[in-house]
Structure 1
Amino acid sequence: MNKPFSPHPASFRDPAGFIFIRNDVLYRQINPSGLSDYQGFVDSKLYKELTNRNWLIPHQDVTSDFASADESVVIKPQLIPYVSYPYEWCFSQLKAAALLTLNIQLLSLQHGFSLKDASAYNVQFVDCAPFFIDTLSFAAYSEGHWPAYRQFCQHFLAPLLLIKHTDFRLMSLANNYIDGIPLDLASKLLPRRTWLSLSALMHIHLHANSQSRYADVRAKPLAKVQSMSRQKLIALIENLKNYVETLELGQRQTEWGNYYHNNDYDDGQAQQKGDILKGFCEQMTATLGLAADIGSNSGYYTKIISDKARHVVAFDIDFQAIEYLYRDAKETGNNILPLLLDLTNPSPAIGWGNDERSSFFQRANFDTVVMLAIIHHLVIGNNVPMAKVAESLFQICDQYLVIEFVGKQDSQVKRMLSTREDIFTDYSSESFEKHFTDYFSLRSRVPLDNSQRVMYLFEKPASN
């Protein structure tokens, strides 16, 4: 088949095939060079078992919909509601993605296949469930060979250990290294006590000794993996799996982790705020496909939104809050995907040509955006003009915006201004309404009792 469309910017590294978009629908083309492995995989029991276990995104063969000039195949994978990246995940999400990858590799080996790569970008979350998305990662097994071993350690094990033993902010290194955190760097950053762990010693520290700047594939530890029997390779994967399963975070406190206990809300005000949000949701004309809660904290109000939307992406700057919300949503089965986001410094576009991984604003396209008790942190805490906040929310919101304005007499704003000069002459409810009605139509305005806070429901005009 002649390539009907150009490959997606993120899909150029694998000669076996590429993804492309036609009429806003995502497809994957399998080139003639990748047909043997692909056909063997989809015809095997492995493909069916992976999809039955909800480990692999299923697909439809739609080759007949495209004019064929060669033997290429076109498939249509099941849609992912929202694409996220590893540097936006919490610890438990990264751990779940790591275990999924290892479980798939173990099952693949049982069926005579092996993963060609172990990139964290091959995993996406649907709500709290991780799915493997790269159908072309499966190849016929070659005796004693798993070339993705180093990649797994760079993409998964290194950041997990750095978060656990050093600082969760080091996960942002994944943003700088698109093929995973270099093991020599991880080894230097990890504390000395990790050398006492046999698994960390083998998979990170000693492994790092073989990692040159250009990752010479002839390095000794990899050569040892290549010479392994199948049984020893399975033992290696099981060792990795058992080690990852033991990794847990300690109890940590953060500024935002106990927000609902540390602010000046009383239970009645929190209840009123929730009731107003429910009322706003009832005013929305239809069930929403995808909603965003920006500044979700531990998800108290996110759960209200989730009753109206098919999927909710819960964003927060605080690692521990997202960790808590992910564990809670996973246990309860809520349709919520928690992700890390600093709205003042969101995920940029990275990779070759700054095109391989899209920025937050390139990916953000929500039916409804909810942003409660955040405006003062942006305008007063980070000097972002009100007009820019309104413009940015307009950019990512397709239909409804629920937002809370926090006045200057609010105790939190007073604390923020107690240590700095008040240069924010434009910060008022009147100015807020002016800037936001430049982009949205005001549907409802409800003040919270005994407070300087007002809840707003805006709607994006259909003409825009």
Structure 2
Amino acid sequence: MRDPEGEVVLVGQELIRRVYNPITPGHFLHSLTAASLVSSGKLVPFEIVGPQEVRASRVEFVSLPLEWSDAQLRAAADITLDISREVFSAGYELKDASAWNVIFEGTQPLFCDHLSFQTISSKQWWAFGQFARHFIFPFGVSNTAGIRAYQSFRLNRDGISLPDARKIMGWRRFLTRLWPMLTSLSTSDGGVKTSTPSKGEEPLHRNLYDFCGWTLGRYGKANRKNRNWQKYTETRQHYQDIASSEKRRQVQEWLREAKAKWVIDLGCNTGEFSRLAVEEGARVIAVDSDHDCVEQLFMESMGNRAIYPVIANLADMAGGGGWCGSEYSSLFQRLTGAGDVVMMLALIHHLAISESIPFENIAKMACQMSKQHLIVEFIGQDDPLLQHLAALRQRSPAEFSIMSQERAFALYFKTKAIFNIPGTSRQLAYLEKLPYAHVS
């Protein structure tokens, strides 16, 4: 949508771009540069099947900028600049520098807008203002005001405007590399005035690309100081070493038995069990609400096309958006029926106690996301962590017994196996979806 040159239609496993004006032999998509971008893995592969139709394979799972860590947004910025430099040498530029034009295959970024390329006709880079709104200003706000880049896109799908960046960053903007932009630019969108280059005059694009790269600096590239849940696997005290190793062994055994193509790891933390699923041949959508955990998982999995890190609060998953809410689907819609196996490890007590979500609703969500199997961790009422969470909410631990958890999940699943984690009051359950589970 929103492309004056064409429209996008999804048909089965194919994405079809219908172009309003015929694709002439001199069009960018016919160029060797376009072929080079595809072969180098920067541009989604495509096929021109008619003068007004371009087809590409549909990516099975797409995450959105409002679900990315800073490191993912930086990877999207880098590939946008890399492509811009490459096509500039052939006389082209990107007319759109939107974060929404980048998708991820696992942790590998791909540019997906085949109609974003145009012949250079102005002295400056046409899309510079959009690049600033979608990449530079969100990073500046993230690093000075604590508003993560993904949160910027939840506030405004077009990123952070120049006036808003100035207001949010305040005097702290002078402590960053962004201050020349925030001081000298006067246009409301952070753009630059364009003019047609004189005969023999070199466009300024390359300088702008270099300037953008310099301005971004190391934003999104360096691991942040460990905090929140980042050291969970090293510091958790409710598992002894034997309990942790036995839990891993049992989960891996069930994953091997399931032979899943797709696994959804809800509450993935830094991806300990997501990696187990990958070892067993699955592709994994790894979801957690903690930015730093998801960022660590992404950075440790760079180049891995099997792990899809996603930031989301499972107790408050945002709906779809764009024009009439139809341009992109909610995360829940994208996860519905997407997992051959769903994993909910050390999670449901947080949803039930901290977020006051009934076990029946948690089980229903798992049923909606799972095609066949669920691996879930039940936690007993005498577990120290459960008792701590219950005390914080002034709830009785007896409300959250293993029996009540099993009863709720039995509405949608049958039990294939139970494993008692040694030295704990926790159980792992390997469940199979009932054929006629009612989820309306």
Relative to the length of structure 2, the TM-score reads 0.91
Deviation at 1:298, TM superposition (A): 1.4
Residue aligning to 2:123: 144
Residue 5 of structure 2 is aligned with which of 4, 7, 16?
16
Give distance in 1, aligned partners of 2:92 and 2:41.
Answer: 18
Once the 2 structures are TM-superposed, how far is the Cα of residue 158 of structure 1 from its aligned partner?
1.2
Partner SS for 2:178: helix
The answer to whether the 8 Å contact 1:128/1:336 transfers is yes
Deviations 1:420-452 (A, max 9, x none): 322565422212112112112211111101211
Give yes or no for contact 1:143–1:230 (8 Å, CA) kept in 2: no
Cα pair 2:353 2:393 within 8 Å, conserved: no
> Closer, same or farther in 2 for the Cα pair 1:400/1:15, shift >3 Å?
same
In structure 1, runs of 5+ residues without a counterpart are: 1-10, 64-70
Give the secondary structure class of the aligned counterpart of 2:143: helix
CA change 1:256–1:168 in 2 (3 A) is farther
| AA partner of residue 254 (structure 2) | F
Matched residue, 2:266: 294
State whether structure 2 residue 16 is matched by structure 1 residue 28.
yes
> AA paired with 2:52?
S
2:235 equivalent to 1:262? yes
User: Cα gap change, 1:226/1:191 in structure 2, threshold over 3 Å: closer, same or farther?
Assistant: farther
Alignment of 1:170-209 (within 5 A): 171-197=150-176, 199-207=177-185, 209=186
Q: Secondary structure at the match of 1:81?
A: coil
- Structure 2 partner of 1:210: 187
Q: Aligned partners of 2:10 and 2:133: how far apart in 1?
A: 30
Question: C-alpha distance in 2, partners of 1:31/1:359?
Answer: 27
Corresponding residue for 2:36? Answer: 49
Q: Secondary structure at the match of 2:193?
A: helix
* Aligned pair partner of 1:275 in 242, 249, 254: 249
Q: Calculate the TM-score normalised by the size of structure 1.
A: 0.87
Deviates more, 1:374-383 or 1:349-358: 349-358
Q: Determine if the alignment matches structure 1 residue 222 to structure 2 residue 192.
A: yes
- Equivalent position amino acid for 2:253 in 1: G
> What root-mean-square deviation, in Å, do the aligned CA atoms of Structure 1 and Structure 2 show?
2.3
Task: Kindly indicate whether the alpha-carbon contact (under 8 Å) linking 1:17 and 1:29 is maintained by their aligned counterparts in 2.
Answer: yes
Q: Give the aligned residue type for 1:117.
A: D
What does residue 348 of structure 1 align with?
319
Matched length: 431
Match of 2:46 among 59, 81, 84: 59
Cα deviation 1:220-266 (Å, max 9, x = unaligned)? x5215776954422111111123324335573342211112332212
Matches within 5 A, 1:90-129: 90-129=69-108
Q: What does 1:55-454 correspond to in 2, within 5 Å?
A: 55-63=42-50, 71-73=51-53, 75-169=54-148, 171-197=150-176, 199-207=177-185, 209-211=186-188, 215=189, 222-223=192-193, 230-247=202-219, 248-249=221-222, 251-264=224-237, 265-284=239-258, 286=259, 288-330=260-302, 333=304, 335-364=306-335, 365-423=338-396, 426-454=399-427
CA distance in 2, matches of 1:234, 1:404: 53
Alpha-carbon spacing, 1:443–1:40, altered in 2? closer, same or farther (3 Å) = same
CA distance in 2 between partners of 1:182 and 1:328 (Å): 32
Q: What amino acid is the match of 2:66?
A: Y
Q: Is the 8 A contact 2:387 2:397 kept in 1?
A: no
Whichever residue aligns with residue 48 of structure 1, its letter is: A
Q: Which runs of 5+ in 2 are unaligned?
A: none
Q: Deviations over 1:280-331 (max 9, x none)?
A: 11221x3x22211111111111111112344111111111111111111117
Q: Distance in 1 between matches of 2:55 and 2:413?
A: 36
The letter for the 1-side match of 2:38 is T
Asked if the contact 1:153/1:203 (under 8 Å) is kept, the reply is no
Change (3 A) 1:339 1:225: farther
Consecutive aligned runs of 4 or more in structure 1 exceeding 4 Å deviation: 224-229, 423-426
